[in-house]
Amino acid sequence: MKAPITFLEFLDFKFLESEDLQKIKCIEVPMLQRDYAQGRKSQKDIATKFLNALFQVLEDKKQTLHLDLVYGYQDAEVFKLIDGQQRITTLWLLHFLLFKKAGRLEDIKEVLSHFTYHTRESSKEFCEKLLAEEEEFSLEIKPSEMIEDKEGTFGDAKDRENDPTIKAIVHMLDLLYDALDQKSPQVLENYIEKLRGISFSVINMKKFGLGDDLYIKLNARGKLLSKFEQLKAFIEQAPIDQQWLNVLDNDWSDYFFDSKKPDRFDQRFFHFLHYANAFFALEKLEKEEGTIEQFLDTERTIDHTYRFLQNEENLKVLDCTIQELLPQCQELGFLSINGPSFFEVQRKDSKDRCAQETKLEHKKVAYFFALLALAQIDKQACLEANLQEYARVCKHFVENHLLDSNDDLHGFFDLFKAIAVGVSCKEGFYAFLSQTKPLDTFFHQKVFTLEQRKARLICTDRAWEGILNKTSKHAYLVGYVGFLLDFSRVDGKDNLQKFTDYATLTMEIFNEFFTKKACPLSLLQRALLCFGDYSIDATNQFFGNRHRMGMFRHRQIVFRLFEKEPFEPQKYPKNALHKLLDNLLSVPKGDLAHKMQGIIKNYTSNREQQLVEISWTLTERAWWEQLLLQQKDLFDWINKEEGKECGRIYFLKDKDTQQVLQAHLLPTKKYSEKAFDLLGYALYCCCKQNMDMSLYQISEEYENGKQVRQFSINGFAIFADSQTATITLEHAENEQAPEKFPINLKHGTDVFKELQKAVTRIKKTIKG
């Protein structure tokens, strides 16, 4: 290791050996590192202490300050920091602002450009623009105000709002601005001179061949301990048996440490201990001070709120968790725990401009609580089959809940504590669950009732277990089969064969249309619509989409479509999906897509007699339903984005009769100017399908005019108005009055045939 160097020497690569000087071109805080936290408003005390230490040297109150070790490794032309990035970033900002105020930024501008904060692309761009646009960087007001005033100069406003590194940098610039404010030019020059007294040592890990495990050892020697190191030190302060300290240092550390990913060790171990402490705290929450929000907060100070980790009985539970249950989970696939990496934070994709959160997602915490509740049960009494059944039921509870709030985690804590004791039930876990009373809080009542219902069926007849386990493993259903059980009742009793048929077919539908996306969603939507308006009121009528299928938030809204109560009165008051399944099962041959196409063809060709339980013929349906059924392009348009907002139609209804006057296809959740008029777009698609393109020049795209022109053909503006049930043609160069003709949208009419007649009328008018 070379002698200590100053910050500017560091940026000038003076820590490198001579043969490496020409290779390295920049120093970078890479993507895998956490955001710049030292400048966060919540960390103001830490930032103030660090700045005070720096200014002790600048103000000549102290001769030197050594900032300990900074280390990283060479990766091609980049030196990537592993530790010390917080200090380095603050020093970069100090040099930037100090030299700027002294009018000497040009002296070090090139050297400063050798460093970038690259936890995410927006952070990188912001640092680059601070230098590139430094002439625009006014010193008249605080940096935060100045940057906001100069909108766009230093990057997108959304980046400043969403990127925690940028927010922390701006806040640190404000703190430095206050510290340097009102300082004379001579004082600023003295400060620049005194910067030489601030130094640190750099370790190039690759160059010195020190090995990956050095990261852990060196961290413990520094003054700025990680959150895990602080928590570990807090535990070690307790009067507990030395064996627990040995276990923590050896067995537990071995589980979380990976020589290929040493930087993940602290995070994994901290999250394990932090959320275990929250679990133990919840047992005492009613009797002692504190809230669930406080105990779940990963940013809070390490203090007495972590006292539950100083309890030897709790440490025994954690030892059982690490030594026995976690390896078992990984081997058998229990509770979605896939090894030590389970305790790493969720890394979001780059499109979100979000590299990493500081806490585990609620779903992971819920699974961990299920494991800890199990760890508290006497292992001698646990039965292997019961463990599998417990894990399966816990999975259903977790995967089929929104998990929006910390209170939900409290609910899961109570739930898992209540059912975990069932793993020691000699009659079996399902027998225990079938007799368990619901929680007084009514938490997760719907799924709890469903799990009890399934448990009772299995206890009554083990033949149910096979198909129920298949639905449990299914990526979309994940055991959410209450509506299928309801469909399967015959004479008031659950019928295994019917449920097997319905469940198998439903899983095939989800596989083909959602998981594999092998079939267009519009095919399912049209087939389902044959049996009635199945949509639900979810910020405009929702007809389905397949956005982010792993999240219950998005699966739930599709389940609501399938569960929707049948519209009354009707000839066959039965759920639309129930009817579709019966019709699909009645066709002996053909794949799923072929069967659905046959259903649509029979229905739209007025051959309803070939289908089962049809309550309305095609012409008895509303005009907009008929068009959705017969013109697949309409559903294709609302599905094309495949985002969480798609799959919706806005209806303008008569206040008195509730009849639909206008229908608009929506690209997003709410109505906007981008919405397509359903009748106008249906007419446009019909024209394109029924006109010879060599004779008729039709707009390449639907123009979406709201009053006069939705699209054009050979210079004629075409506009279809469902409110007045008219179609208007107007030639741009003809001063004659526009031609209007009616289109029959009334019940009893085949509206699609009326649309085809309108196309014929348009052709005739254009030919003259």
pLDDT of 37 reads: 66
Closest CA to 567 of 605, 535, 538, 607: 535
d(CA 339, CA 444): 28
> 676: helix, coil or strand?
strand
Q: By the 8 A CB rule, do 137 and 100 touch?
A: yes
Q: Taking the CA of residue 153 as centre, how many other CA atoms within 13 Å lie in the half-sphere pointing to its CB?
A: 18
Does pLDDT of 303 surpass 90? no
Mean pLDDT, residues 184-199 taken together: 95
pLDDT in tens, 60-81: 999 999 888 887 888 888 888 8
pLDDT of 287 reads: 61
d(CA 724, CA 743): 9
Who's near 750: CB < 8 A, 6+ residues apart? 618, 619, 626
Does pLDDT of 216 surpass 80? no
Mean pLDDT, residues 117-144 taken together: 85
d(CA 85, CA 552): 38
Q: Residue 166, by phi and psi: left (phi above 0), alpha (psi -120 to 50) or beta?
A: alpha
d(CA 388, CA 21): 58
pLDDT of 159 reads: 74
d(CA 120, CA 122): 6
b/e burial code for range 588-623 (CB count within 10 A of at least 16 → b): eeeebbebbbbbbebbbeeebeebbebbbebeebbb
Closest CA to 217 of 262, 274, 252: 262
Q: By the 8 A CB rule, do 525 and 605 touch?
A: no
Does pLDDT of 1 surpass 60? no
Who's near 250: CB < 8 A, 6+ residues apart? none
pLDDT of 577 reads: 98
Q: By the 8 A CB rule, do 113 and 119 touch?
A: no
**Lowest pLDDT segment from 233-247, 359-373, 514-528:** 233-247
pLDDT in tens, 507-556: 999 999 999 999 999 999 999 999 999 999 989 999 999 988 889 999 99
Classify residue 667 by burial, with Cβ atoms within 10 Å: 0-12, 13-18, 19+: middle
Q: By the 8 A CB rule, do 485 and 603 touch?
A: no
Tell the residue number behind the tokens 């123009």, with chain if given: 703
d(CA 641, CA 668): 9
Closest CA to 686 of 746, 748, 615, 757: 757
Report which DSSP code applies to 335. Answer: G
Element (H, E) at 604: helix 592-604
pLDDT in tens, 338-358: 899 999 997 654 444 334 468
Mean pLDDT, residues 424-452 taken together: 91
pLDDT of 24 reads: 87
Give me the long-range contacts of 684-692 (CB less than 8 A, separation at least 24): 684/710, 684/711, 684/718, 685/631, 685/633, 685/634, 686/631, 686/755, 686/756, 686/758, 686/759, 687/711, 687/713, 687/718, 687/759, 687/762, 690/756, 690/759, 691/759, 691/763
Mean pLDDT, residues 310-335 taken together: 92
pLDDT of 31 reads: 64
What would the two tokens of residue 114 be? 């050798």
> 359: helix, coil or strand?
coil
Which band of pLDDT confidence, cut at 50, 70 and 90, is reported for residue 56?
very high
Does pLDDT of 367 surpass 90? yes
Cis status of the peptide bond prior to 569, with omega within 30 of 0: yes
d(CA 221, CA 413): 38
d(CA 15, CA 462): 70
Would you report the helix, strand and coil content of the chain in percent, each value rounded to 5? Answer: 55, 10, 35
